[in-house]
Amino acid sequence: MNRGLYLAAVALVGAVWCIGGCENPYLYTGIQKEQVAALTVSPAGGTVFTDQVEVVLATQTEGARIRYTTDGVTMPGPDSAVYDEPIVLTETTTIIARGYKDELMPTPAVTLKYIREAVGQAAAPTFSPEARGFGDTLEVTLSTATAGATIYYTTDGSTPDADSEEYDSAILLNATTTISAIAMLDGMSDSEVATATYTLNELDDVADPTFDPAGGPFRESVSVALGCATDGAAIRYTLDGSDPNASSAEYAEAIELTATTTIKAAAFKDGMNPSDIVSQTYTRNDIEQAETPEITPVLTDFTDTVEVTMSVETLDTVIRYTLDGSDPGEASTEYTAPITLSATTTIKARAFLEGADPSEVASRTYTKLAIPEYEFVLTWGSRGEGLEPADGEFGIIEDVTLGPDEDEIYVTDALTSRIQVFDPQGTFLRKWGAVGEGPGQFVTAWGIAVDSTSQVYVADGGNKRVQKFSSTGSFLDQWREFGGDPGVFATPTGVDIDSEGNIYVADQGGMIHKFDSQMQFVTQWGGKGAAEGEFDMPGNMAFDSAGNVYVPDRNNHRVQKFSSDGEFLAAWGTEGSAAEQFNEPSAAAVDSEGRVYVVDSKNHRVQVFAASGVYLTSFGTEGDGDGEFDDPESIAIDSDDILYITDSGNARVQKFRVAR
């Protein structure tokens, strides 16, 4: 019998005979004769609770599972929740439960209802203003002391309930009206019904009280005078947040405040409607000097536009700013919304807070970067045959560097294990090296660097060493285990020299090793990984005028920036082919303007960034024409910003210059 058909038949028979919800229907091949022991429950269904209740379920059948639902409708089945600890209920809930075990009939379902009893009573709504007469119109607000409660109200004399209008904003009255209101909250009994009647009359309104000075921050103390334009009116006020009425304290003289206070006031006069309640808040400010504004973004380089924001944490603080380089004062422009800049601009900002000295001046200059363009100059080189191709031919071209006078171009060939030297026009000058393990021989000649005395350093990756030569190729020295441990190489692939003569070696083991000009170990950093400061195959490095180190992190598809001592400063890039994305970046270089060039090998291009990591432009596409690339590997830049790029897949060097 076909195996697939057999298994399907077994499954079908099992499903047919799995009566009552089997845990595993494929185990059943006949009628079940035994049943899971009945469930025991504590506390019993029908229990009334006030806060919460824990329901414990059990069965005497060893290995049985109890499954349950809590919606009061669904019968528990094999996919329902498994009981493994007491069920905690905080609301009225109906539990349906059943016990299951393979090869046994499930228990009958038990239905258990647990009832939460309402606790306490919601606070009755209050009215502001309280019931009174009014002229023309009046706004009435409702509130309750019970947090989360919903207020329902009527204006037709009926008793409010949950079907009445829900209160969500002030009620505008223009006729005599009785408002009835009730507060409701789940778990509590409804409040008492509160009622207030507001009578429209033909009386004039008393003018609203005035405050001098107006509310706001103050230092140490403030004297507040109240006034009313209605002759003979009495001003009543409170200082505790409650609404004033005709029985509140009467204003007679200026109110002296020494702490944060809200004054509420209303004016009253016989034969007239009282004024509206007016309030002002006076905030004591013990801050001696306003907080200095924060200007963002911190990254100040941009290419098109940048949106600048300013902020302080202290309330009631006013930020004023300038864009002309002058220090802001109280008459300067007030900051109210983000500022969009489209040109290089210095923003200065200062904060002002009543009762405090102005802040220090914050300043940030945003620099609009020019987008450079590049033009092809010339190319040289071609693909050679075997391990000893002709002069000017290459096997697998790798790194490129310049001599101290920039009149010689040094190029490594990983396949033929030799160094070739050219003039800036691509004319062959000399060569050395061969495949082997002896002095002057290489197993994959990768990185190359030349110091200020024309001594040449080559990363001999396959031999796990760095070799040192004269400019003519005479062997001088070699190093295998620098500094002992640390400083030991796994597979050195890149070697670069900063302006101080320090030598940096990039290692496939995920480390950057730093040595002085005498090859004495200084420090190292990194490690295999993808976290900040870690690497997965670091490439040829570059240095800016401040001594910062830019390291292409090839298999992590990013560039990392460090101080000369290895302190992590920044990183940018993700895997991809869009601008600011990389596919195996292999080398970096920095020009006289501080622009950072990254050879984006598998995207067949060079991307250009500001030192901050802001993307500027890119050049190059896949191909074999002038200005096109096939897996470029390395780059060198002279003092005139002439670029030399090794085009590995095309076995050549290409030369470019900045067009503008």
Structure confidence by residue, pLDDT tens digits, 523-561: 999 999 999 999 999 999 999 999 999 999 999 999 999
- β-strands 210-212, 234-238: how paired? unpaired
Output the pLDDT for position 484.
45
The Cα 623–Cα 393 span in angstroms is: 19
CA 179 to chain centroid: 50
With helix as H, strand as E and coil as C, how does 388-419 read? CCCCCEECCEEEEEECCCCCCEEEEECCCCEE
33 or 309, greater pLDDT: 309
Is pLDDT at 487 greater than 60 in this prediction?
no
Predicted confidence band at 5 (pLDDT cuts at 50, 70, 90)?
A: very low
End-to-end CA distance of the chain: 80
35, with CB counted inside 10 A (0-12, 13-18, 19+), is middle
Mean pLDDT of 48-64: 90
- Bridge partners for 494 per DSSP: 506
Output Rg (C-alpha) for the chain, integer angstroms: 42
4 or 474, greater pLDDT: 474
475 Cβ partners below 8 Å, 6+ apart? Answer: 439, 440, 467, 468, 469
Is pLDDT at 498 greater than 80 in this prediction?
yes
Left (φ > 0), alpha (ψ -120 to 50) or beta: where does 318 sit? Answer: beta
257 Cβ partners below 8 Å, 6+ apart? Answer: 218, 221, 222, 223, 224, 282, 284
Output the pLDDT for position 211.
97
Lowest mean pLDDT among 22-31, 203-212, 493-502: 22-31
* Contact yes or no for 364/346 (Cβ under 8 A): yes
For 327, other C-beta atoms within 10 Å of its C-beta total 12
- β-strands 393-394, 382-383: how paired? parallel
H helix or E strand, kind and range, residue 9: helix 3-17
| Average pLDDT of the chain, as a whole number | 91
pLDDT tens digits along 132-171? 888 788 899 999 999 999 999 999 999 999 999 999 999 9
Q: Count CA within 13 A, CB hemisphere, residue 107.
A: 24
pLDDT tens digits along 566-621? 999 999 999 999 999 999 999 999 999 999 999 999 999 999 999 999 999 999 99
Sign, CA torsion 452/455/457/458: positive
Output the pLDDT for position 481.
61
How open is the CA angle 281-284-286, to the nearest 5 degrees? 155
Output the pLDDT for position 33.
60
Mean pLDDT of 92-114: 92
Is pLDDT at 18 greater than 50 in this prediction?
no
Output the pLDDT for position 187.
82
Mean pLDDT of 482-497: 75
* Contact yes or no for 253/275 (Cβ under 8 A): no
Classified as helix, coil or strand, 590 is strand
Among all chains, which residue has been given the structure tokens 């929740």? Answer: 81
pLDDT tens digits along 341-352? 999 999 999 999
Is pLDDT at 10 greater than 70 in this prediction?
no
630, with CB counted inside 10 A (0-12, 13-18, 19+), is middle
pLDDT tens digits along 513-524? 999 998 888 999
* Contact yes or no for 364/295 (Cβ under 8 A): yes
Mean pLDDT of 12-22: 40
Output the pLDDT for position 90.
86
Q: What percent of the chain is modeled with pLDDT above 70? A: 94
Among all chains, which residue has been given the structure tokens 């309280």? Answer: 130
Q: What is the DSSP secondary structure assignment for residue 25, as one 8-state letter?
A: G
The Cα 99–Cα 83 span in angstroms is: 10
Sign, CA torsion 218/224/227/233: positive
Output the pLDDT for position 283.
86
H helix or E strand, kind and range, residue 3: helix 3-17
Is pLDDT at 21 greater than 50 in this prediction?
no
Output the pLDDT for position 638.
96
* Contact yes or no for 93/48 (Cβ under 8 A): no
pLDDT tens digits along 331-386? 999 999 999 999 999 999 999 998 789 999 999 999 999 999 999 999 999 999 88
Classified as helix, coil or strand, 526 is strand
Tokens read off for 513: 């090793």
The model's pTM is 0.59
How open is the CA angle 544-634-499, to the nearest 5 degrees? 30
Is pLDDT at 32 greater than 50 in this prediction?
no
Whether omega for the bond prior to residue 274 falls within 30 degrees of 0, making it cis, is no
Is pLDDT at 218 greater than 90 in this prediction?
no
- Where b means 16+ CB within 10 Å and e means fewer, 73-101 reads eeebeeebeebeeebebeeebebbbbbbb
Predicted confidence band at 200 (pLDDT cuts at 50, 70, 90)?
A: confident
Whether omega for the bond prior to residue 328 falls within 30 degrees of 0, making it cis, is no
35 or 485, greater pLDDT: 35
285-289 long-range contacts (CB < 8 A, ≥24 apart) are 285/217, 285/218, 285/219, 285/353, 285/354, 285/355, 285/356, 286/219, 287/314, 287/353, 287/355, 287/356, 288/356, 288/357, 289/356, 289/357, 289/358, 289/359, 289/360
